[in-house]
């Protein structure tokens, strides 16, 4: 009888250990699933995730370039290239070799200050938003103007190109309109009217939608800003939007719920607006 009781106790202990192990496995699985689906920084299981190596700020400046007389309005890199593109108040767009810091070519025929730049995903066309109310499209290889896009009645302050098609771009101006353009034919295919000035634009990765940053309270509330939005960037998974503003905050917004999932601030540092005038371009990197 005593032997049977001991056997039953051992069996109960084994069952308890098994249940405890299964509970721990269940908790571990739930935790792992939660981490995979977390709305925090970047979901590493989502399509489009790229494993980036954390870079460090370089301590030495490779090149300082006197880019534009009067100031530089916008800069961007050619995709998968060492070429840097800049546009400024001298009404020119310039292409630079970042390895040597030398000027590769200059694009002319813009009739106003360059306020923003975009490049098509195949690097074949460069688009400039101008204070002349127009947008200018150059062929990168020849430097010739392909199209002058007209239709805005005030300064064109923002432009972006589709990330999947070289035929589409979107612009915004101080006339409270955003326009979608056919770059092949050189005309507007759609006009969107809004109540506030749009500071910047960003196409989604699928090329079907775009996001805009505004000065008004409604847009600022959606983008988690107490002041004007100065910069936006969409993650490759299209689930997260990183915004910066004049309130010196970087906010990470979950586009699926429109909720803030992260806020970043560096004490003593200010967020610079993308339309600040830059007299020099500084290129940092390792020798």
Q: What is the CATH number of the domain that holds 129?
A: 2.130.10.10
Task: Give the residue among 270, 264, 262, 214 at the shortest CA–CA distance from 246.
Answer: 270
Task: Say if 245 falls within a structural domain.
Answer: no
Q: Strand locations in the chain, DSSP E?
A: 61-66, 72-77, 83-88, 93-97, 102-107, 114-119, 125-130, 135-139, 145-149, 156-161, 168-173, 177-182, 187-193, 198-203, 210-214, 229-234, 240-245, 250-254, 259-264, 280-284
Task: Say if 140 falls within a structural domain.
Answer: yes
> In b/e form, how buried is each residue of 22-51, taking b as 16+ CB within 10 angstroms?
eeeeeeeeeeeeeeeeebeebbeeeeeeee
pLDDT at 218 (0 to 100): 39
pLDDT at 180 (0 to 100): 94
Report the chain's mean pLDDT, rounded to a whole number.
78
- Say if residue 188's pLDDT is above 60: yes
Please give the residue that has the higher pLDDT: either 164 or 258: 164
Taking the C-alpha atoms of residue 99 and residue 4, their distance in angstroms, rounded to an integer, is 82
- Say if residue 103's pLDDT is above 90: yes
Task: Say if 98 falls within a structural domain.
Answer: yes
φ, ψ of residue 43 in degrees (nearest 5)? -75, 110
Kindly report which listed range (60-74, 118-132, 257-271) carries the lowest average pLDDT score. Answer: 257-271
Please give the residue that has the higher pLDDT: either 87 or 270: 87
pLDDT at 216 (0 to 100): 58
Find the domain containing 131 and state its range: 61-213+273-284
pLDDT at 139 (0 to 100): 96
**For residues 202 and 211, is the Cβ–Cβ distance under 8 A?**
yes
Task: Say if 81 falls within a structural domain.
Answer: yes
- Say if residue 45's pLDDT is above 50: no
Task: Give the residue among 168, 131, 137, 169 at the shortest CA–CA distance from 152.
Answer: 131
What confidence category does residue 152 fall into, taking pLDDT thresholds of 50, 70 and 90? very high
Please give the residue that has the higher pLDDT: either 161 or 56: 161
pTM, full prediction: 0.67
pLDDT at 223 (0 to 100): 45
- Say if residue 172's pLDDT is above 90: yes
Task: Say if 21 falls within a structural domain.
Answer: no
- Say if residue 263's pLDDT is above 50: yes
Number of domains in the chain: 1
> In b/e form, how buried is each residue of 119-131, taking b as 16+ CB within 10 angstroms?
bbeebebbbbbbb
End-to-end CA distance of the chain: 83
- Say if residue 233's pLDDT is above 90: no
- For the residues 249-262, what does the mean pLDDT come to? 81
What confidence category does residue 97 fall into, taking pLDDT thresholds of 50, 70 and 90? very high
Task: Say if 247 falls within a structural domain.
Answer: no
Task: Say if 241 falls within a structural domain.
Answer: no
Please give the residue that has the higher pLDDT: either 213 or 45: 213
- For the residues 195-222, what does the mean pLDDT come to? 72
Residue 77's Cα: distance from chain center in Å? 13
Task: Say if 150 falls within a structural domain.
Answer: yes
> pLDDT over 90 for what percent of the chain?
39
């Amino acid at each position: 009888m005593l032997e049977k009781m001991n056997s039953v106790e051992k069996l109960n202990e084994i069952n308890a250990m098994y249940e405890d192990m299964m509970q721990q496995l269940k908790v571990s699985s739930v935790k792992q699933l939660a981490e995979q689906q977390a709305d925090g920084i970047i979901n590493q299981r989502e399509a489009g995730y790229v494993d980036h190596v954390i870079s460090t700020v370089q301590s030495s400046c490779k090149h300082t370039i006197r880019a534009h007389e009067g100031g530089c309005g916008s800069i961007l890199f050619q995709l998968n290239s060492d070429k840097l593109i800049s546009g400024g108040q001298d009404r020119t767009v310039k292409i630079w070799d970042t390895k040597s810091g030398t000027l590769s070519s200059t694009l002319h025929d813009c009739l106003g200050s360059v306020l923003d730049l975009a490049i098509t995903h195949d690097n074949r066309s460069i688009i400039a938003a101008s204070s002349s109310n127009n947008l200018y499209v150059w062929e990168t290889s020849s430097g010739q103007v392909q199209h002058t896009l007209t239709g805005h009645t005030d300064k064109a302050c923002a432009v972006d190109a589709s990330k999947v098609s070289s035929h589409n771009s979107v612009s915004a101006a101080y006339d409270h309109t955003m326009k979608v353009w056919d770059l092949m034919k050189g005309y507007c295919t759609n006009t969107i009217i809004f109540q506030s000035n749009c500071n910047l634009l960003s196409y989604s990765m699928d090329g079907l939608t775009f996001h805009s940053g505004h000065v008004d309270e409604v847009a600022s509330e959606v983008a988690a800003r107490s002041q004007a939005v100065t910069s936006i960037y969409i993650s490759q998974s299209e689930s997260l939007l990183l915004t910066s503003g004049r309130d010196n905050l970087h906010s990470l917004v979950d586009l699926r719920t429109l909720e803030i999932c992260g806020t970043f601030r560096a004490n003593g540092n200010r967020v610079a607006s993308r339309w600040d005038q830059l007299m020099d371009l500084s290129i940092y990197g390792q020798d």
